[in-house]
Structure 1
Amino acid sequence: MPVIADRGVGRRIAYYRSVVRPKLTQQQLADAACVALGTIRKIERGERGVTDDTLQAIADALGVDPARLRHDRGPAHSLAREGLPALSAAIAAYDCPEDGRVRPMADLRAAADAAERWRLGAQYTRIVRDIPELLAELARALDLARGVEQAELGGLLVSAYRSADAAAYKLGAHDLSARLVELMRWAAGEADDPLLSASVAYVRTETFFAAHAHAAGLRALQQAIDTTPAPDTVVGRAILGSLHMRAAVIAGRARDADAATGHIVAAERLAHAVEEGVYYGTAFGPDSVRIHRVSVAVSLGDDHVGDALDVSHEWKPPADLPAERRSGFYIELARAQLWAGLADGAFESLKAARKIAPQHTRDHPWVRQDASTLRRLRRADSETLTSFAEWCAAT
């Protein structure tokens, strides 16, 4: 990995951290970038170089294009996207893995859990960098396993594939994402867990979103809802509720207001019976359903946009929700505000999304579209808006 040793990089990082928004402490920057505090201090003092990987993470945490921090100021590039071919190679031989190490089950479980945390925190660069090796190791372990261990490894593979899929989908690699979804369905079969299979149906909806096949996606989710076990446990209620939550959004995209309303009401009913949490990799509970109410309103558009604004007037997502979900709320809200003529509010929402989950926000197509619209409207401080638009590659 190339190391940038120029002292000016550290000075520019310190400048953007302490002078330009978001005005972070070194500890806050370290936490946001998932870099050790001591490393941040040494980089800013010019006592150590910084790899491209670390620079990308710091730039995302600061909400600036990495080119603004580099000594050569060359064109920005996404290290996450550059890692996608390695991810494709890692899954090509899922059913005939090469020989290699296989760690104890406890270590594999911890590695899959870490990847899930990166996914929920929208740390896509880290996922793409580290997960190919984990996928290969889990495939080797499953190839050797039998009985109960085989079922658990199937579940771990689903989790790891899902983390990889999140990065692929958010980075626009939809063909790779669809392949990963199919591998999730295969691995769920190895686990022989109906609730796990239902959680995979939730993720599979991405392929319908990507193809704009909303009516077909709604049918697939309805089928999953019909075949999901009766919700007689907390986890069962959460899984069924998440399917209704997802169905409400895709019904909104299909402009089926009745179906969208029916599914979001069903999701709310189930959410009242559980605590907000992450169930089989999906956040669900009253707060998640509120966020999806905004998404449904934006999907339906027209007279429903006011519903999204009403939610935002009364409530904001709490800090303990996954970063990707919280940033998604503000991205959806920004679109509703823009449609309602609230351009200044829309820009504030986009900046809030960036502060919460920079990578998720930067690679979201709606963010680029809305930033471009705001530039054409010439709203907000031109330099600030131009900087934001440059950061997310808006035209």
Structure 2
Amino acid sequence: MDELPIGRRVAYWRGRRKMSQQVFADRLGKSKSWVDKVERGVRRLDKFSVVYEIADVLQVDVQLLLGKDVERRPETQNCIDQVEVEEIRAALERYDQMSAFFQAVPHSPPLAEMRKAVSHAWLTYQHAKYGVLARTLPKLLRDAQAADSAYATGSEAKEAAHLLGQVYQIASSALRKVGEHELSWLAADRSIAVSQRAGDQLLAGLASYRVGSALLALGRVRPALEVNVNIANRLAPTHEPAHKGERLSVYGMLLLNGAMAAARIGDSATVRDLLCGAEQASLELGGDYNHYWTSFGPTNVQLHRCATAVELGDGRTAVETHEKIDVVGFNAMLPERRAHHFLDIARGYTQIGNVEKASEMLLEGDRLAPSEIRCRPLAHEVLSDVLRRTRGTPPAPIAELAEQMGVGV
């Protein structure tokens, strides 16, 4: 896209942000005609102040609009920037499986190496190292696609497909964190098809969970609820001991995700039923585990009780539930999950007007996993809300965090 005129770049990013020309014009304080002329190259953008204003509205680095390489600043090293998103998109746009139908794949990494790389990527995600993950994901996607193609007809075909299915899910989760919901949906959808080839119902169930998460992020709430509940019903635990822990974990996470969707539409009865089902599964599981990278167990159910209460607008219940969470179980959870919870509880505190405690929760999350707070659009919204509600000058730590995140005080 570097060779495109600046007007075409503006049009491209406006489309990516799902803005009409009129909405974009309103946010700039310009006319729709002005925007149209800029995008068609009829009107030149010769003032840097205007270019910077456009970049701010589109939430992209100004260097991207100017067709230059983005300079990665130290404070954004742990976030996923637009350049990295485009590299991940390019990897998702590859169709190596179709190419392999016509000719052999020239190179594929050994599956033993792929296993290690995929496990490392999962841990990187669960430790909320999103910048590190973003810089490795494009190559990991290409390698996993190549492996899936190379081993498509051999005895290792299912394992190769399983690894690719996992990589798609990692990509889906990371992209959703930074607001790239359409790409997140694409990656999750890819994982469903690949997981079926892998012959693993639980991996396919977890792919459905990722699809549900992406749909929920896109505002497609009822389809998100349906996909989670439907697949959960198909994976309902049986009395067979084989893989019982893994099955309970995937089943439970589908119910929890369904509860989040039900909360989004204000269906408190369905929220209650799904949370009860997940709690029963967690009790049967007998503790907190990370089967299939789910972090499922009694503690995660409590975290979702808080999150669904926030979605229902019941901040007081969220805070009261938070105060009863088992500290030992909570501290044993991985950083991404705990920091995500602090963000949820910060929202809960703002709902009851306790800005000071909301600030504390944001700072706790930032100390634990900075990327979960600094890289997520939702965290920017919560911090903006906290700043608006703060009387007088905000405390130095929250003002410093706002400055580092680029949120106006």
Q: Give aligned-pair identity as a percent.
A: 23
1:291 Cα offset (Å): 0.6
Name the counterpart of 2:320: 310
Which has the higher mean CA deviation after the structures are superposed, 105-114 or 311-320? 311-320
1:136 Cα offset (Å): 1.2
Counterpart mapping for 1:285-300 below 5 A: 285-300=297-312
CA RMSD of aligned residues (A): 2.2
Cα distance between partner residues in 2 of 1:176 and 1:319: 32
Name the counterpart of 1:139: 145
Counterpart mapping for 1:1-395 below 5 A: 55-56=74-75, 80-94=81-95, 95-96=97-98, 99-145=105-151, 146-228=153-235, 230-232=237-239, 233-274=244-285, 275-301=287-313, 304-315=314-325, 316=327, 318-379=330-391, 381-395=394-408
Runs of 5+ unmatched residues, structure 2? 1-70
1:329 Cα offset (Å): 0.7
Do 1:115 and 1:127's aligned partners in 2 also have CA atoms closer than 8 Å? yes
Do 1:208 and 1:214's aligned partners in 2 also have CA atoms closer than 8 Å? yes
Give the counterpart letter for 1:153 in structure 2.
A
Name the counterpart of 1:28: none
Do 1:272 and 1:285's aligned partners in 2 also have CA atoms closer than 8 Å? yes
1:346 Cα offset (Å): 0.5
Do 2:258 and 2:274's aligned partners in 1 also have CA atoms closer than 8 Å? yes
Cα distance between partner residues in 2 of 1:237 and 1:148: 29
Cα distance between partner residues in 2 of 1:295 and 1:79: 25
Cα distance between partner residues in 1 of 2:92 and 2:209: 21
Kindly indicate whether structure 1 or structure 2 has the higher relative contact order, using CA contacts under 8 Å at least 6 residues apart.
1
3-state SS in 1 of match to 2:259: helix
Larger radius of gyration: 2
1:292 Cα offset (Å): 0.5
Cα distance between partner residues in 1 of 2:234 and 2:192: 15
1:216 Cα offset (Å): 2.1
Give the counterpart letter for 2:250 in structure 1.
I
Cα distance between partner residues in 2 of 1:180 and 1:378: 40
Q: 1:100 to 1:343 in 2, by over 3 A?
A: farther
Cα distance between partner residues in 2 of 1:175 and 1:212: 11
Cα distance between partner residues in 2 of 1:79 and 1:203: 19
Do 1:298 and 1:308's aligned partners in 2 also have CA atoms closer than 8 Å? yes
Cα distance between partner residues in 1 of 2:406 and 2:75: 15
